Structure 1
Amino acid sequence: MSVNLPNTIENQLLLRLSPTGRDRIGAQSDCIELLSGSVLYEPGHMIEHAYFPLSTVICLMATLPDHHPLEMSLVGNEGMVGASLVLGVPTAAMQASVHNPGSCLRLSCVQLQAAMIEIPELRTTLNHYLHRQVMQLAQSAACIHFHDIEQRLARWLLMTHDRVHCDHFHFTHECLANMLGVRRSGVTLAAGLLQHQGLIQYTRGEITIVDRQGLEAVSCLCYSASSM
């Protein structure tokens, strides 16, 4: 669903551009509203659009046959979805689905390629972001292998908190299990431990961050490394 373009572009990547560059992107893009659970890409399928979140949060998920999907990265207004288009690769490597509903700017694959030619600073900015995203994915893979569930849950909650810009958000048990790559019973245990420590409140999928600093202390070092 298209919505009115905001007066101020709130995507952090686009804010790095000059006012002229931002105006060009604003004129060429559509501002749309994304609904929770909407799937934007499927692995192996063609990428038709690049998305620059404003208030929405999009998750990138690795999928394997006979296994539940595993969340590898969250993208909010600090980044973009469809970064492989910067390399000229129009095929999705992971599933991209809407984690939290909200607005974003959308450009077609053709529009993005043309914009990177017309606005050289855009290509430079997106190249830097692509490098950062690769590093974050590597960090996530290591985190899943080496760190315990409680630490990883604290990390994902902090990453979500950074992107939704509010203390309260919704997570189903299934969603948390996908984030962590564990059974739902593992989610219950880890969330219960964080709640017992007074760091969060968690009831029927509704999560409230109570003690942000305490949550950072419990989280593994991967959170600070991926936030750099």
Structure 2
Amino acid sequence: MSSKQDPNQNHLMAALLDADFDRLSPHLELIPMKLGDVLYESGDKVQYVYFPTSAIISLHYLLENGGSSEIAGVGNEGVLGISTFMGGDSTPSRAVVQTGGFGYRLPASILMEEFNRAGAVMRLLLRYTQALLTQMSQTAVCNRHHTVEQQLCRWLLLTLDRLSSNELTMTQELIANMLGVRREGVTEAAGRLQGYGYISYRRGHITVLDRKGLEQDVCECYGVVKKEFARLLSDVRHRQAA
């Protein structure tokens, strides 16, 4: 329910100093994000940035032949629209809602005003950007060197980290598009994970039954990404709360 949403459910918003949050909060708009909604197309001028609370957004790079794969995901740990404050006027990737929920949008111009103060907001956003770049780099390495089963474990765990439940609504076709692999490969990998008792898959619904099993079989890429986010953002939250 939207009535249960709060900007502080987003970790970056929760990390802001009171004075910084008070300047931004009047401009925040709670919006529903439905599965499949496209928030940015490649090349779009960024007019809004988005702070998800319960939704998850997938960033895709599109090829000329129509193929695509996920280069990163953004959930309640972050913000969509880093090109706004990284010197770009447009986004190079497509942003589509992977898991429906809610989030807050903010005019890009308002965020730039805060960023240009060169204070705590700027430092927080740059730390998040470094963590996001780590996720993008590790995704590229994972897609090149690890099995579809390992990639699926990584994707499931990163998604679970952003949710309050162990249930995901996602078809195998959409997962294949995320990973940039054939649907048959995802079908086989998901079947093995189900056979191990790690997940239950039925009609587009995935229930994770044994998270520790996924963590045992996942490649190192999941741990690298998780540790980098924890190193950068947990330190920020601790420092600002002190």
Same fold (TM over 0.5): yes
Distance, in Å, in 2 between the alignment partners of 1:133 and 1:12 is: 14
Q: How does 1:189-208 map to 2 (within 5 A)?
A: 189-208=188-207
The amino acid across from 1:151 in the alignment is Q
Q: Confirm or deny that 1:34 pairs with 2:33.
A: yes
SS in 1 for 2:155: helix
Q: How does 1:74-153 map to 2 (within 5 A)?
A: 74-118=73-117, 120-153=119-152
- Cα deviation code 1:42-64 (max 9, x no counterpart): 11121111001111100000110
Aligned length: 226
Distance, in Å, in 1 between the alignment partners of 2:205 and 2:182 is: 19
Q: Is the 8 A contact 1:39 1:96 kept in 2?
A: yes
The amino acid across from 2:152 in the alignment is L
Deviates more, 1:105-114 or 1:138-147: 105-114
The Cα shift of 1:168 comes to 0.7
Partner of 2:219: 220
Runs of 4+ in 1 over 6 A off after TM superposition: none
TM-score, normalised via structure 1 length: 0.94
- Cα deviation code 1:10-56 (max 9, x no counterpart): 11012111122222221221111111111011111211110011111
Q: Is the 8 A contact 2:57 2:99 kept in 1?
A: yes
Distance, in Å, in 2 between the alignment partners of 1:34 and 1:61 is: 17
Q: Is the 8 A contact 1:53 1:75 kept in 2?
A: yes
The Cα shift of 1:87 comes to 1.4
SS in 1 for 2:185: helix
Identity %: 37
Distance, in Å, in 2 between the alignment partners of 1:61 and 1:48 is: 19
The amino acid across from 1:211 in the alignment is D
SS in 1 for 2:9: coil
Partner of 2:240: none
Q: Is the 8 A contact 1:140 1:222 kept in 2?
A: yes
TM-score, normalised via structure 2 length: 0.89
Q: Is the 8 A contact 1:4 1:31 kept in 2?
A: no
Distance, in Å, in 2 between the alignment partners of 1:208 and 1:188 is: 15
The Cα shift of 1:8 comes to 5.5
Unpaired runs of at least 5, structure 2: 228-242
The amino acid across from 1:179 in the alignment is M
The amino acid across from 1:115 in the alignment is E
Q: Is the 8 A contact 2:5 2:102 kept in 1?
A: no
Deviates more, 1:99-108 or 1:21-30: 21-30
The Cα shift of 1:178 comes to 1.0
SS in 2 for 1:87: coil
SS in 2 for 1:207: strand
Q: Confirm or deny that 1:23 pairs with 2:15.
A: no
Partner of 1:46: 45
Distance, in Å, in 1 between the alignment partners of 2:61 and 2:15 is: 30
Distance, in Å, in 2 between the alignment partners of 1:7 and 1:204 is: 31
SS in 2 for 1:163: coil
CA RMSD of the aligned region, Å? 1.6
Distance, in Å, in 1 between the alignment partners of 2:151 and 2:219 is: 7
The amino acid across from 1:112 in the alignment is L
Partner of 2:235: none
